[in-house]
Structure 1
Amino acid sequence: MAILELRDLTKRFGETVAVDRFTLSVEKGEFVSLLGPSGCGKTTTLQMIAGFETPSGGTILLNGRDLAKVPARARGLGIVFQTYALFPHMTVEENVGFGLEMRKVPADERRRRIAQTLDLVHLSHLSGRYPRQMSGGQRQRVALARALVIEPELLLLDEPLSNLDAKLREEMQLELRRIQQEAGVTTLLVTHDQSEAMALSDRIAVMQGGRLIQEASPFDAYDRPANGFVSSFLGKSNAIPGHLEGGAAGTKLRCRELTLDGPASGETPGPVLISLRPERIEFTGEAEGIVAGRVSERIFLGDKWLFKVETGLGELLVVRRNSGRREPEVGEAVHLFWQAEHLRVLSAESAE
């Protein structure tokens, strides 16, 4: 059963449509991410759920209850903001317990729930410290504990890791997922970070221009993008314009002067955009090669190599795991191979 249902949710600011008929259901215990570039409407969507913005249209249901006339303070939601918004003059314990105190929870119950939540986020030993005495990651966990201690029906996270450095952000992704699963709280995250959404989520809702473009598991969104935008936004991708031809002998793709074997596809024959992930391409011998090329650039990224290869299909990106073996040099002639099943055929209109 869905704990949160958004039905045709819409928000206009004058003539600007920030969120356009957005529909999404979130199941109990799920971790769902709203993912998209700046200005796509994801934060506005979160603010409408939280009660900080009034929808121009549509419905928000929380456990079947219409939130249209429920003020923000009465929605029973846990919210973690990008800035954490901790009280500097309060200790960790006092910050975490503030929401309980405002709800007039009895002192004994307050102490029990604070202790339980601090244990969940592994901060029991720092309960007497002040925010200024803590690291960014620790402050983030205090903010999370303050949101969880009220036992919310829904946890809303607004870019909660964006202020952390790259290494700490990766560590906190694992910690955030652990906490969410142990608490069992239904969670909706807003982020523009693709790797963060894929690492944390059960499902991703990709947004563009205020609209929901694709809703899928992280693997399906990455491996089977709905259109060219999703393909390019979720990691690196090679986008190859072509023409799809079907026949008794199988699907064929004509790209520039080359004809490629295509995957099984339900697309109507005609102009298409072909998506091919860089890690699906292999260097191979001339006999097995699908297309020949020449390395124009290579970049060492520690755990992998990124190559740019000029081919008859245009410039292709190739990613290779760093295994210590010899890799092609800039200027070297190479041959590329991929499985036809790894080509994703998208409609030509999805190239935007």
Structure 2
Amino acid sequence: MSFLEIKALTKRFNDVTAVDDFSLTVERGEFVSLLGPSGCGKTTTLQMIAGFERPSSGSIILNGRNLSDVPARKRGLGIVFQTYALFPHMTVEQNVAFGLEMRGISDTDRRAKVASALDLVQLSHLAKRFPKAMSGGQRQRVALARALVIEPELLLLDEPLSNLDAKLREEMQLELRRIQQEAGVTTVLVTHDQSEAMALSDRIAVMQHGQLMQVGTPFDTYEKPRSSFISTFLGKTNCLKARLLSSNEQGSVLDVNGVQIKGPSVKFMPGQVEVSLRPERIDIVDAPDSDLPAKVLERIFLGDQWLFRLETTLGDLLVVRRNRGRREAEPGETIHLSWTPEHFQILPVNREDSA
């Protein structure tokens, strides 16, 4: 039995189904992210796990215990909200100690546990400081310490990094992963940020319209998306409409905008499909080795890489090229592209995605 088992979880608000037949298992010590756009049901799912929302149907079983009739305050979960919800009139150590006081922990044990939690998040030197005198990243770590000090079976994180600036957010991703691994606590994160989910998670659960669309490691979910929605939501991609002409063990042949190209072997029947090709999988090459000429429409410098938007007979393509400290093609110039057929992801047509 998995440590956390969510079975056929459904939540309806009158005529609106926010979460639809959602099932997921999480192993002890694992870090799993619920990833999806706004309104996909990920926060509602987290609130049902926490006990803030009652499921319309389905069950949540934590370490063999059915939480269906257990109120939120008795579930013993650690929760970090988007706003951190710190008490402004309390010092750092008082904020962290609050949950222990509510549980009647003795003063001696409470001081030891608070000191250990602050050491874990590297804030022991700020124990007497008030939240208003701290940075966003420091306040976030206080909220983490407060959630972890009660030694929860499960840690729930609701967009905890969304209020931080980009640079601090990247730094805190590393810090959050370190803290989670050192604490060894099973963690479920809600986020709409695909880079955050990939950086932090052992596995990602992608949601759309209240449903679970795909679960897998960050690498597998990125490299082997099951739909055009997942391929476009999880990173940049070129998604092209195509017709699968044939496929066998040696590979497939596709028609993309009247151009025949080779792809990997698939088990689909010939007909309409969608093709996903990641920008970093396309090479800019010398003309003799080219599969496709392209005209540069836009060029954007991103520091460590260049992003190109190109006009080709297949359609407009995005191409990412590592910054090698040398001149790159400018808008208006013609370049030549090449790729490996195995880098194409051939996906079934999803009417809802393309609507």
Deviation at 1:287, TM superposition (A): 1.8
Unaligned 5+ runs, structure 1: none
Distance between the aligned counterparts of 1:95 and 1:13, measured in 2? Answer: 34
- The residue identity in structure 1 corresponding to 2:74 is A
- Equivalent residue, structure 1, for 2:118: 118
Distance between the aligned counterparts of 2:276 and 2:341, measured in 1? Answer: 11
- Equivalent residue, structure 1, for 2:294: 293
- The residue identity in structure 1 corresponding to 2:55 is P
- Equivalent residue, structure 2, for 1:67: 67
- Equivalent residue, structure 2, for 1:305: 306
- The residue identity in structure 1 corresponding to 2:253 is K
- Equivalent residue, structure 1, for 2:180: 180
- The residue identity in structure 2 corresponding to 1:340 is P
Distance between the aligned counterparts of 1:52 and 1:73, measured in 2? Answer: 10
- The residue identity in structure 2 corresponding to 1:184 is G
Deviation at 1:34, TM superposition (A): 0.2
- Alignment partner of 1:2: what SS? coil
Distance between the aligned counterparts of 1:310 and 1:170, measured in 2? Answer: 33
- Equivalent residue, structure 1, for 2:130: 130
Deviation at 1:245, TM superposition (A): 2.2
Distance between the aligned counterparts of 2:205 and 2:269, measured in 1? Answer: 26
1:40-51 to structure 2, matched below 5 A, reads 40-51=40-51
- The residue identity in structure 1 corresponding to 2:263 is G
Distance between the aligned counterparts of 1:300 and 1:84, measured in 2? Answer: 35
Alpha-carbon deviations, 1:292-331, whole Å to 9, x = none? 1111111111111110110000000000111112211111
- Equivalent residue, structure 2, for 1:193: 193
Distance between the aligned counterparts of 1:36 and 1:144, measured in 2? Answer: 23
The answer on whether the counterparts of 2:8 and 2:21 sit within 8 Å (CA) in structure 1 is: yes
1:94-109 to structure 2, matched below 5 A, reads 94-109=94-109
- Equivalent residue, structure 2, for 1:322: 323
- Equivalent residue, structure 2, for 1:224: 224
- The residue identity in structure 2 corresponding to 1:275 is S
Alpha-carbon deviations, 1:102-128, whole Å to 9, x = none? 000111111111111100000001101
Calculate percent identity across the aligned residue pairs.
66
- Equivalent residue, structure 1, for 2:234: 234
Distance between the aligned counterparts of 1:119 and 1:291, measured in 2? Answer: 56
Distance between the aligned counterparts of 1:184 and 1:267, measured in 2? Answer: 42
Distance between the aligned counterparts of 2:226 and 2:144, measured in 1? Answer: 33
Distance between the aligned counterparts of 2:274 and 2:111, measured in 1? Answer: 59
The answer on whether the counterparts of 2:247 and 2:266 sit within 8 Å (CA) in structure 1 is: no
* Residue 155 (1) aligns with residue 166 (2): no
Distance between the aligned counterparts of 2:301 and 2:134, measured in 1? Answer: 35
Distance between the aligned counterparts of 1:34 and 1:117, measured in 2? Answer: 26
Distance between the aligned counterparts of 1:67 and 1:209, measured in 2? Answer: 25
- The residue identity in structure 2 corresponding to 1:327 is E
- Alignment partner of 1:182: what SS? helix
Distance between the aligned counterparts of 1:312 and 1:118, measured in 2? Answer: 58
- The residue identity in structure 2 corresponding to 1:308 is R
* Residue 347 (1) aligns with residue 348 (2): yes
The answer on whether the counterparts of 2:255 and 2:261 sit within 8 Å (CA) in structure 1 is: yes
- The residue identity in structure 1 corresponding to 2:211 is R
Deviation at 1:250, TM superposition (A): 3.8
Unaligned 5+ runs, structure 2: none
- Equivalent residue, structure 2, for 1:272: 273
Deviation at 1:247, TM superposition (A): 5.0
Distance between the aligned counterparts of 1:136 and 1:177, measured in 2? Answer: 17
Distance between the aligned counterparts of 2:93 and 2:257, measured in 1? Answer: 65
TM-score (norm 2): 0.97
Aligned residues between the structures: 352
- Equivalent residue, structure 2, for 1:203: 203
Distance between the aligned counterparts of 2:108 and 2:268, measured in 1? Answer: 63
Deviation at 1:268, TM superposition (A): 2.2
Deviation at 1:334, TM superposition (A): 1.2
- The residue identity in structure 2 corresponding to 1:21 is D
- Alignment partner of 2:7: what SS? strand
Distance between the aligned counterparts of 1:149 and 1:69, measured in 2? Answer: 25
The answer on whether the counterparts of 2:34 and 2:190 sit within 8 Å (CA) in structure 1 is: yes
- Alignment partner of 1:318: what SS? strand
Distance between the aligned counterparts of 1:194 and 1:14, measured in 2? Answer: 31
Distance between the aligned counterparts of 1:276 and 1:180, measured in 2? Answer: 34
- Alignment partner of 1:297: what SS? strand
- The residue identity in structure 2 corresponding to 1:338 is W
Deviation at 1:197, TM superposition (A): 0.4
Distance between the aligned counterparts of 1:325 and 1:20, measured in 2? Answer: 51
- Alignment partner of 1:173: what SS? helix
- Alignment partner of 1:168: what SS? helix
CA RMSD of aligned residues (A): 1.0
- Equivalent residue, structure 1, for 2:243: 243
Distance between the aligned counterparts of 1:121 and 1:241, measured in 2? Answer: 48
Deviation at 1:181, TM superposition (A): 0.2
Distance between the aligned counterparts of 2:65 and 2:203, measured in 1? Answer: 23
